[in-house]
Amino acid sequence: MGGLTEVAWADPDSASDALKKMLAEAQFDSFWVSSIEVALRFIRRVNSLESSVYVDVVFSCTAKVRAGDSLTGISEQDFFYGRSKFLADIYSFIGMDVEGVYLGAGGALLISIGKSVVELQLSQEDLEQDSSVWEVKVDVRKPHPLPFPASVACVATGGGEYVLTIAS
């Protein structure tokens, strides 16, 4: 994303508002997996651009799917089994609309899709790293002025804490 002009630390309310704008009226399109990183791709129509943009949610933290009382996710006891179940659940969401986006306690990102919630949770191990734990970013092929930020990220500081950033 060579067009980023400014990165700023953000408070949870500002980051939450930016996330809602980025994923408003988006549809889940696809996903891909690389080692321990997973990316969820959404398509969002942007009327001011008279086109659609891709919004990617890229993460390396624990992910869970909540559907009513049911909970599946990437389990710390059996990472590969948990990941395969999570990916199977995610696959069933392709084509569905994002109903809501929320920031939870401890840097958690919750994306409501249909009647389910995809929850990205930070563990203490994530917080000991010095890197992005999750990032929501717009994949723009041509430079366009966006009516919302280009990315929102949760970055671990390496000291057991995290910061939220917004880039435009």
Q: Tens of pLDDT along 87-140?
A: 888 999 999 999 999 999 899 999 999 889 999 999 888 888 888 999 999 987
Q: Which residue has the tokens 């549809």?
A: 27
Q: How far apart are CA 17 and CA 92, in angstroms?
A: 27
Helix (H) or strand (E) holding 128: helix 124-128
Q: How far apart are CA 102 and CA 60, in angstroms?
A: 18
Residue 106 has what DSSP assignment?
G
Percent residues over pLDDT 70 in the chain: 86
- Determine the distance from the C-alpha atom of residue 64 to the mean position of all C-alpha atoms in its chain, rounded to a whole number: 12
**Amino acid 2: pLDDT:** 43
127 or 20, which is more confident: 20
Query: Looking at 68-131, which runs of residues are DSSP E strands?
Result: 70-73, 98-103, 109-113, 116-121
**Amino acid 45: pLDDT:** 85
Average pLDDT of the residues of the chain: 86
Buried-exposed string 40-71: b where 16+ CB fall within 10 A, e elsewhere: bbbebebeeeeeebbbbbbbbbbbbbbeeeee
**Amino acid 69: pLDDT:** 54
- Looking at the predicted structure, is the pLDDT value of residue 4 above 50? no
8 or 99, which is more confident: 99
126 or 16, which is more confident: 16
